[in-house]
Structure 1
Amino acid sequence: MSSVSQLAKRFREVLLDGLWIANTNFKDQLSDVSWEQAVTKIDSLNTIAMLTFHIDYYIAGIINVFEGGNLEIKDQFSFDLPPIESQKQWEDLLDKFWKNSEKFAALLEQMPDSKLDEVFADEKYGTYCRNIDGMIEHSYYHLGQITLIKKLLKSL
């Protein structure tokens, strides 16, 4: 299996369908979350909706680079979730998240392995491989938070 295929598989595992590392994934964890739960704030923790938006924000930013564009995302805007006030708005965010996740993986699969060693957007960001690995690790980090927040919400 090529390196890009392996990375795409790892990416899909954390976002869409895997059980290997965390015995869960974003799609599994978010499938039964209502919009009210998604926006419920617990102490100083981010909400499930904010974390979902945050990961999607970075996925969309990397997709733009994969498609030949510039890296236009900024950390300072990565939690700027517009208000979610209905189930439809929550489902729209999830739908965008799933589509972007699949698009990211599909674009990754189309890359030649040699692209992984190339500079990603700017030398200060390292290589494509470093950024793809970082996206996967970042996703697992926030998946863990979402899993814990769901457990806390059940105890309310």
Structure 2
Amino acid sequence: MNEAHRIQALFTDLYHGHPWLDVTLQDTLSRITPELAAQHPIKDGNTIWEIVNHIIAWREDVLKRVQGEVLQNPTNNYIEKINDPSHEAWQQTLEALETSQKEWLYFLNTFNEADFINEYPVNKLTYYQHIHGVIQHDSYHLGQIVLLAKMVKS
């Protein structure tokens, strides 16, 4: 198995497989209703829903970076208030997360490993660091989601 496929396995495990940390995005989010996802259990903190949208946006951002696009980071760090807390909107968010997962798996399946050493010109980090950064970012926020899920009222 080559490195890109090993990284692909890490993406899969964290999303819906059997990661070392024993929680996954899909399983955790499948138990959260739109009502719970939109609650603010911490004053001035983010909701689960805002965090999920943040995860999706950063996944999309970094995917564009490692495909050669140079982006300007938004001042809001991809944290936006939820305007439509409906069941349909929550389903669209979960579908967008799944779409980002499929896009990353396809990218890693077709990635030229010689490009791991390419540097993103803005921060001089390699594509390899960016790709692993997405997994680290997802794990970090999954931990937040798990804690927030314990705090929200059903």
Regarding TM over 0.5, the answer is yes
Query: Does 2:26 correspond to 1:34?
Result: no
User: Residue in 2 aligned with 1:20?
Assistant: 19
- Cα shift readout 1:3-56 (whole Å, capped 9, x = no counterpart): 111111112221x21222221211110012111000000123311101100100
Conservation of the 8 A alpha-carbon contact between 1:35 and 1:90:
yes
* Cα shift at 1:75: 5.3
User: Residue in 2 aligned with 1:103?
Assistant: 103
Query: Does 2:123 correspond to 1:113?
Result: no
- Residues 18-27 or 35-44, more deviating: 18-27
Q: Aligned with 2:13: secondary structure?
A: helix
Conservation of the 8 A alpha-carbon contact between 2:34 and 2:85:
yes
Distance 1:108 1:73 in 2: 23
Distance 1:90 1:60 in 2: 18
Query: Does 2:64 correspond to 1:64?
Result: yes
Q: How does 1:3-152 map to 2 (within 5 A)?
A: 3-14=3-14, 16-44=15-43, 45-74=45-74, 76-120=76-120, 122=121, 124-152=123-151
TM-score, normalising length: structure 1: 0.88
C-alpha spacing 1:18/1:72, structure 2 compared with 1 (3 Å): farther
C-alpha spacing 1:66/1:118, structure 2 compared with 1 (3 Å): closer
C-alpha spacing 1:43/1:123, structure 2 compared with 1 (3 Å): closer
User: Could you say which structure has the higher helix fraction?
Assistant: 1
C-alpha spacing 1:125/1:55, structure 2 compared with 1 (3 Å): farther
Letter of the 1:34 partner, please give it.
T
TM-score, normalising length: structure 2: 0.89
C-alpha spacing 1:73/1:109, structure 2 compared with 1 (3 Å): farther
Conservation of the 8 A alpha-carbon contact between 1:118 and 1:128:
yes
Gapped runs of 5+ residues in structure 1? none
Letter of the 2:127 partner, please give it.
Y
Letter of the 1:115 partner, please give it.
D
Distance 2:98 2:73 in 1: 19
Gapped runs of 5+ residues in structure 2? none
* Cα shift at 1:145: 0.7
Letter of the 1:11 partner, please give it.
F
Q: Identity over the aligned pairs, expressed in percent?
A: 22
Q: How many aligned positions are there?
A: 153
Conservation of the 8 A alpha-carbon contact between 1:48 and 1:149:
yes
